[in-house]
Amino acid sequence: TQLLEQSPQFLSIQEGENLTVYCNSSSVFSSLQWYRQEPGEGPVLLVTVVTGGEVKKLKRLTFQFGDARKDSSLHITAAQPGDTGLYLCAGEGGNQFYFGTGTSLTVIP
Amino acid sequence: GAGVSQSPSNKVTEKGKDVELRCDPISGHTALYWYRQSLGQGLEFLIYFQGNSAPDKSGLPSDRFSAERTGGSVSTLTIQRTQQEDSAVYLCASSLLALNTEAFFGQGTRLTVV
């Protein structure tokens, strides 16, 4: 059962453009995490959001947790080639993190 | 160690053979997780350890899969009689406590069954 749906699945943009990645679920999560994974590496945590409506900023990345704690978004401003990677959201539930299918981002110089 | 270490980094095995994958978590981390990532897919939960016990084995895909953790540290994931559909990257993560704390991932073991 895929509890978290991410969109888009693939995204290819030019350097300097803005983008938003979405993570949606019908389930409520007590917290939600965003990870970035580069080829041949494990995912690396970017941020954890806990409170409904919470907004967190990490340099050019802005993360938002939906009011109902069922969805989240990641917005990147002025994307750079170094932002290229697989972005994964993960919701905490029970004894595990439920991961989304991921958004593969390519930023073209 | 400084991070989660997994070995081997790559493993090619013949169909029907058994394989053992190893995870060395960050020292002092009590929670340990195994996930599987297939090409183009998200992470599929396999098993969770709290200390040496595994309160949640719900993600193990079949009885050919087993895992153990000894001394609250190193964990091994064993796949018996490997099948081609077992080919994937197997990721291990550890966290200081169970959930609510950051999970640190290893670089994974890429398993190819030929």
CA-CA distance, A69 to B109, in Å (whole number)?
A: 33
Residue entry with tokens 């291990």: B92
Alpha carbon of B63: minimum distance to chain A alpha carbons (Å):
20
Collect all residues of chain B within an 8 Å Cβ-Cβ radius of residue A98. 45
pLDDT at A23 over 70: yes
C-alpha angle with apex B101: B97 to B103, nearest 5 degrees? 90
A42 vs B93: CB contact, 8 Å cut-off?
A: yes
pLDDT digits (tens, 9 = 90+) for B3-34: 999 999 999 999 999 999 999 999 999 999 99
- Whichever domain contains B48, its CATH number is 2.60.40.10
Nearest to A42 among B56, B59, B105 (CB): B105
> What is each CA distance from B78 to A31, A97, A106, B112, in whole angstroms?
31, 22, 35, 14
Nearest to B103 among A45, A94, A95 (CB): A45
pLDDT digits (tens, 9 = 90+) for B45-95: 999 898 888 877 888 999 999 999 988 899 999 999 999 999 999 999 998
Give the residue from chain B lying closest to A92, CA to CA. Answer: B99
CA-CA distance, A107 to B82, in Å (whole number)?
A: 38
Share of chain A above pLDDT 70, in %: 96
Cβ(A19)–Cβ(A76) under 8 Å?
yes
pLDDT digits (tens, 9 = 90+) for A64-105: 999 999 999 999 999 999 999 999 999 887 767 888 989 999
Helix count (H) and strand count (E) of chain B?
0, 11
Which 8-state DSSP code applies to residue A100? P
Collect all residues of chain B within an 8 Å Cβ-Cβ radius of residue A51. none
For the segment A7-19, the average pLDDT, to the nearest whole number, is 96
Residue A22: alpha-carbon gap to chain centroid: 7
Instruction: Check if CATH label 2.60.120.10 holds for domain A5-108.
Output: no
- Cis before residue B55, ω within 30 degrees of 0? no
Q: List the domain range (segments joined by +) for residue B92.
A: 5-113
Element (H, E) at A21: strand A19-24
End-to-end CA distance of chain A: 37
Alpha carbon of B52: minimum distance to chain A alpha carbons (Å):
15
Give me the number of domains chain B comprises: 1
Collect all residues of chain B within an 8 Å Cβ-Cβ radius of residue A45. 102-104
* Domain regions of chain A by residue span: 5-108
Element (H, E) at A64: strand A61-65
User: Confidence band (pLDDT; 50, 70, 90) for B2?
Assistant: confident
